[in-house]
């Protein structure tokens, strides 16, 4: 840790330190926080979790839909902190081959999609419906950045990172929201193969399912890439998921995206 250089309050990742010496997520300017659940329980968020949330979303509300948005300065700090981490995460990914998009696996067994894409402003993602207990898998080889509680809305979430392919500038962030993450919790910081078990579709405990509580059980699935302004935004994944989930895909005629 002595090789770490602090500049302007931010960590600069050294070239010489081994991955074991450097934290996967440095909190940057973000401190600890906590979430109060609807039943009064309190979930403590360590600084790296708060920092990751700010790196993933510059407009998202950690404490839920009707709470304060982050300031522009906090949003920009999140972007800058992510930019400082990406070379390090890329080096941890190493020379593992990136799964081609055409070879992405289905993230969930026996799940189904809405009959129409659920991609819209405020929901740059798709919901994959499945009964509680169904297994959730990594569609692609990825570095696990997080497996645990993330925010009031998300509940327990797995976040995976895939570096930009050679010659391309955009990394991909996979998020699997409202799932019980216990199977992969111990592998945070590791690169896992496509098809690795990440978690299970959760039952109704707000500490796990976030705002999925009381709704049809589903996994909120997103693949985010950086926009020209630096913010991350989910790409359209409905067609990609239909391909990956075929031939077992069961496209429902009577269900709509819900969150």
Residues 201-220 that bind Zn ion (CB under 5 A): 220
Angle at 236 between CA 233 and CA 237, to 5 degrees: 115
Stretch that binds Zn ion, among 30-38, 70-78, 96-104, 127-135 (CB under 5 A): 127-135
141: contact with Zn ion by CB under 5 A: no
26: contact with Zn ion by CB under 5 A: no
H or E stretch at 10? strand 10-12
- Give me the least distance between CB of 225 and Zn ion, in Å please: 18
Whichever of 127 and 206 has its CB closer to Zn ion, that residue is 127
Reduced DSSP (H G I as helix, E B as strand, rest coil) percent helix, strand, coil of the chain, to 5: 25, 25, 50
User: Six-digit token pair at 215?
Assistant: 């709704």
Q: How far apart are CA 128 and CA 138, in angstroms?
A: 14
175: contact with Zn ion by CB under 5 A: no
114: contact with Zn ion by CB under 5 A: no
Cβ–Cβ < 8 Å for 148, 259: no
Beta-carbon neighbour count of residue 90 at 10 Å?
15
127: contact with Zn ion by CB under 5 A: yes
- Give me the least distance between CB of 258 and Zn ion, in Å please: 7
Whichever of 58 and 259 has its CB closer to Zn ion, that residue is 259
Q: Footprint of Zn ion on this chain (CB under 5 A)?
A: 127, 220, 259
């Amino acid at each position: 840790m002595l090789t770490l250089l602090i500049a302007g309050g931010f960590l600069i990742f050294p070239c010489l330190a081994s991955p074991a010496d450097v934290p996967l997520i440095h909190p940057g300017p973000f401190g600890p926080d906590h979430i109060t659940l609807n039943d009064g329980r309190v979930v403590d968020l360590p600084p790296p979790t708060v920092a990751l949330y700010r790196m993933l979303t510059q407009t998202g509300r950690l404490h839920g839909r009707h709470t304060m948005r982050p300031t522009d300065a906090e949003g920009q700090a999140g972007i800058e902190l992510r930019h400082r981490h990406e070379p390090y995460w890329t080096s941890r990914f190493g020379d593992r081959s990136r799964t081609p998009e055409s070879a992405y696996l289905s993230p969930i067994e026996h799940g189904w999609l809405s009959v129409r894409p659920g991609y819209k402003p405020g929901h740059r993602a798709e919901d994959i419906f499945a009964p509680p207990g169904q297994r959730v898998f990594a569609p692609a080889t990825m570095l696990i950045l997080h497996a645990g509680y993330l925010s009031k809305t998300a509940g327990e979430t797995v976040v995976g990172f895939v570096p930009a392919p050679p010659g391309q500038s955009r990394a991909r962030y996979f998020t699997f929201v409202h799932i019980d993450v216990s199977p992969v919790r111990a592998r945070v910081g590791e690169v896992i193969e496509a098809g690795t078990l990440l978690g299970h579709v959760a039952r109704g405990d707000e500490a796990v399912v976030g705002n999925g509580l009381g709704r049809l059980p589903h996994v909120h699935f997103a693949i985010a890439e950086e926009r020209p302004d630096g913010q991350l935004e989910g790409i359209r994944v409905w067609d990609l998921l239909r391909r990956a989930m075929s031939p077992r895909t069961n496209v429902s005629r009577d269900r709509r995206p819900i969150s």
